[in-house]
Amino acid sequence: MCIALISTAHPAYQLILVDNRDEFLNRPTAPASWWPDPNSNVLGGRDLLRSTQGTWLGVTTDGRIAVLTNFREAGVQPEGAVSRGVVIRAFLTDSSFSSTDEFVKGMVASGAGRDAGGFSLVCGKIGEPLAVMSNRAKNEDDIPWIAAMPGETIGLSNAAFGDHSWPKVTQGEKMMRAALSESVQAGESEDELIKRLLDLLSTDTLPRHAEGAGLEAYINDLRKTIFVPAIGRKDPLDLPADEVAAARKNEKAEVLEGRLDNKLPLGVSGLYGTQKQSVILVSHSRKVRLIERTLHDNNADPIPLGEGDREFVFEVKS
């Protein structure tokens, strides 16, 4: 279960956004990069599982910024008629609207967001308040606005915005405020601040279950930890051929056969955890620095710490 923390509490930055993307570790995902034409002004990762190639976090050269978290709704299918990634992609790429308010009003009026699975989308333009839109919004009065003034720190996970019953959100907000305050007091460099924020995103307070226990066993515990270590077992479809052959002989052979015969897509089962960590710093001069740390490759294999890092720096165009 992902977490995003957004703050205007550091005096050197007008906006700081940090994010953990929690997913099935073998879900095909492109690392952060500048997108192909005609959207080459968009920087972010892309979900390669669905043809729409949406994203969960992105920023553009003209100052649009957005982050999306899924909302797990009881009794509702996790995937709606519209991909959640399409909603955030529309904000980052659609040039037909002139303001965040216009975009949000249009999405609510059209009902497009309600056709997607549960989500919360924080979106806006750098230097302006950010809207928090969800699939539950029925009118513009249901859209809160955040980061409107210095000193704010807001957390968002896979519950409704403002739901502080999740320890990871309350803990994240508290740790974010402390991290920024301590960094300022210590006179840290930007690199030292980034390290501090990545350490925050790596805070693991997950209660442990039996070895091999998967997502459903942990589902209620995930709200208690900012970082999610790899849980479950590796998907048989990702195993070497000799291990697949061995798996066919065990008591779960019929399950494996069904998955292989049906050719289910990668990314729907297996190991689950924090796949990517992101830090975005926006200075008052409108310089954007984005750091993305990938912790597992698309085969769900761990990447040595730091070897999956990507960094981008650019100036927002006026």
Number of domains in the chain: 2
Q: Please check whether residue 151 lies inside any domain of the structure.
A: yes
Q: Please check whether residue 183 lies inside any domain of the structure.
A: yes
**Model confidence at 240, in pLDDT bands (50, 70, 90)?**
low
Q: Are residues 171 and 251 in the same domain?
A: no
**Model confidence at 253, in pLDDT bands (50, 70, 90)?**
very low
Q: Are residues 188 and 259 in the same domain?
A: no
Q: Please check whether residue 114 lies inside any domain of the structure.
A: yes
Spatial separation of the C-alpha atoms in residues 147 and 316, rounded to whole Å: 18
Q: Are residues 106 and 141 in the same domain?
A: yes
The closest alpha carbon to 161, from 176, 146, 139, belongs to 146
Average confidence (pLDDT) over 217-234: 94
Q: Are residues 256 and 126 in the same domain?
A: no
- Bridge-partner residues for 277, per DSSP? 20, 293
Spatial separation of the C-alpha atoms in residues 113 and 81, rounded to whole Å: 10
pLDDT at residue 102 is higher than 80: yes
The closest alpha carbon to 56, from 274, 233, 219, 289, belongs to 274
* Mean pLDDT score across all residues of the chain: 86
Count CA within 13 A, CB hemisphere, residue 82: 18
Q: Are residues 163 and 242 in the same domain?
A: no
- DSSP 8-class letter at 91: H
pLDDT at 139: 75
pLDDT at residue 239 is higher than 80: no
**Model confidence at 115, in pLDDT bands (50, 70, 90)?**
low
pLDDT at 107: 84
Weakest-pLDDT range from 137-141, 147-151, 153-157, 291-295: 137-141
Average confidence (pLDDT) over 207-227: 93
Q: Are residues 202 and 251 in the same domain?
A: no
**Model confidence at 259, in pLDDT bands (50, 70, 90)?**
very low
Average confidence (pLDDT) over 89-100: 93
Q: Are residues 276 and 262 in the same domain?
A: no
Q: Are residues 275 and 241 in the same domain?
A: no
Q: Please check whether residue 228 lies inside any domain of the structure.
A: no
Portion of the chain with pLDDT greater than 70, in percent: 84
CATH classification at residue 305: 3.60.60.10
- Side by side, the strands of the sheet bearing 57-60 are 29-34, 42-47, 57-60, 64-70, 119-125, 130-134, 145-146
pLDDT at 113: 64
Average confidence (pLDDT) over 37-55: 91
Weakest-pLDDT range from 6-10, 160-164, 197-201: 160-164
pLDDT at 136: 73
Q: Are residues 19 and 60 in the same domain?
A: yes
Q: Are residues 152 and 113 in the same domain?
A: yes
Q: Are residues 128 and 245 in the same domain?
A: no
Q: Residue 260: which domain range?
A: 235-269
Average confidence (pLDDT) over 269-282: 94
Q: Please check whether residue 220 lies inside any domain of the structure.
A: no
What CA–CA distances, in Å, run from 151 to 8, 12, 125, 129, 146?
5, 12, 18, 13, 11
Q: Are residues 201 and 282 in the same domain?
A: yes
Q: Please check whether residue 29 lies inside any domain of the structure.
A: yes
Sorted by sequence, the CB contacts under 8 Å of residue 113 that are 6+ apart come out as 82, 87, 107, 119, 121, 133, 134, 135, 137
